Amino acid sequence: MKKTKAQDQGGFKRSNAGQAGFTLIELMITVVIVGILATVAVPSYRDYVTRSRIPDATSNLAAKRVQMEQFFQDNKTYASAPACTSDSTSSKYFTFDCGTTAPTSTTFELRAVGTGPMAGFEYYVDQSNSKRSVITASGWTGSTSCWVTRKGGVC
């Protein structure tokens, strides 16, 4: 007696028409690819977001420095300058002050200190427009001669 095709396959009829879906292997390969992409993309995105917040500090420091120079032109001193005594600049990620020393008649130093997700970032500028960065955030390096805007101490 001759066996039918259905009997050769264990007695079950198989039909190729209308099959849909993914095999478990295809699904696992997709999950692995998405995982690899995520391990590369997430840190890059975090760095991008951090870099996008830095201009908040540097632009406000530059504006405050201009205010200090305008005050000096009018009063021949930096002492009691409004840029240091009252903080009219608000920022979501940085607080601004005159650093650790009060302005004198001929010197000042302005500071932006990171808060929240920008904690560990500090930017400074003084009367001679000397800029420096003190950064303790992981993977970032500060500089004594510029405002660091990228990982590795890039200005």
pLDDT, position 11: 58
Q: What separation, in Å, do the N-terminal and C-terminal C-alpha atoms of the chain show?
A: 86
Domain chopping of the chain, boundaries: 23-135
At 95 the pLDDT is 92
| Residue (of 46, 65, 143) closest to 109 by Cα position | 65
pTM of the model: 0.77
Q: What is the pLDDT of residues 44-100, one digit of tens each?
A: 999 999 999 999 999 999 999 999 999 999 999 999 888 876 666 678 999 999 888
Q: In what order do the strands lie in the sheet with 109-114?
A: 94-97, 109-114, 121-126, 131-135
Say what the pLDDT of residue 152 is: 86
Q: Which residues pair with 124 in a beta bridge?
A: 111, 132
Whole-number Å distance between alpha carbons of 155 and 149: 5
Cβ(112)–Cβ(94) below 8 Å: yes
What digits encode the pLDDT tens for the residues 130-152? 999 999 998 899 999 999 999 98
Tokens found for residue 52: 């996008």
- Give the mean pLDDT of 106-127: 95
